[in-house]
Copies of this chain bind each other. A is one copy, B any other.
């Protein structure tokens, strides 16, 4: 019987794909083993835990998302940068809902990929460079931006906006306009 050729790399990647297909919640070691034509116990050679698997998928998602955002941000400034970043963020979440969910859930603990988190924060700060905000207002603004992006995407994918006919894309666009307004007129202490 030939080996299945499972590696941690391929395992995490498969888990991410499966998450996008059936939802992050439903990604199980058993289902993954099935997909590789292998018994569940075999996966413990490549991954410590079910938790370890989830954290690694989260790390992958955070890194991918950061790559996208960085690409979107390149060569842009001000509102241009804001919109590009926000759209990259939202598009990624819509294309990869399972990965996005992974990136949210497993943030806590020491196990987190601190590097990816820092990249995100740094990029959000880069957006603000066009708005001339001093610290600590910058930190407040970073938190607000991240909150709005995540909240919108999260509610949208959960179906929270489906009850009203207004186009979700349009509301998104207007929300970005409003954020731009808020940043340009940031309330000084």
Would you call A41 an interface residue if the criterion is a C-beta within 8 Å of the partner chain's C-beta atoms?
Answer: no
Say yes or no: B146 contacts A164, CB within 8 Å.
no
Instruction: Find the residue from A105, A117, A147, A150 having the highest chain B CB count within 10 A.
Output: A147
Residue from B146, B152, B180, B186 within 8 A of A143 (CB atoms): B152
Interface flags, A155-174, vs B, CB<8A=1, else 0: 10011110110101011001
A181 interfacial by beta-carbon distance below 8 Å: yes
How many of these chains are in the complex? Answer: 2
- Cβ B158 vs Cβ A151 within 8 A: no
Cβ-defined contact, A104 with B152, below 8 A: no
- Which residue in B105, B108, B147, B178 is a CB contact (below 8 Å) of A175? B147
Residues of B within 8 A of A45 (CB): none
Q: Is A107 an interface position by the 8 A CB rule?
A: yes
Q: Which residues from B are CB-within-8-Å of A183?
A: 178
10 closest Cβ pairs, A-B complex: A151-B151, A147-B151, A147-B152, A140-B174, A182-B182, A177-B187, A178-B182, A150-B151, A144-B175, A140-B171
Given contacts A140-B171, A140-B178, A150-B155, 17 further A-B contacts (CB under 8 A): A118-B163, A136-B166, A136-B170, A139-B164, A140-B174, A140-B175, A144-B178, A147-B147, A147-B151, A149-B151, A150-B151, A150-B154, A151-B152, A178-B187, A181-B181, A181-B182, A181-B186
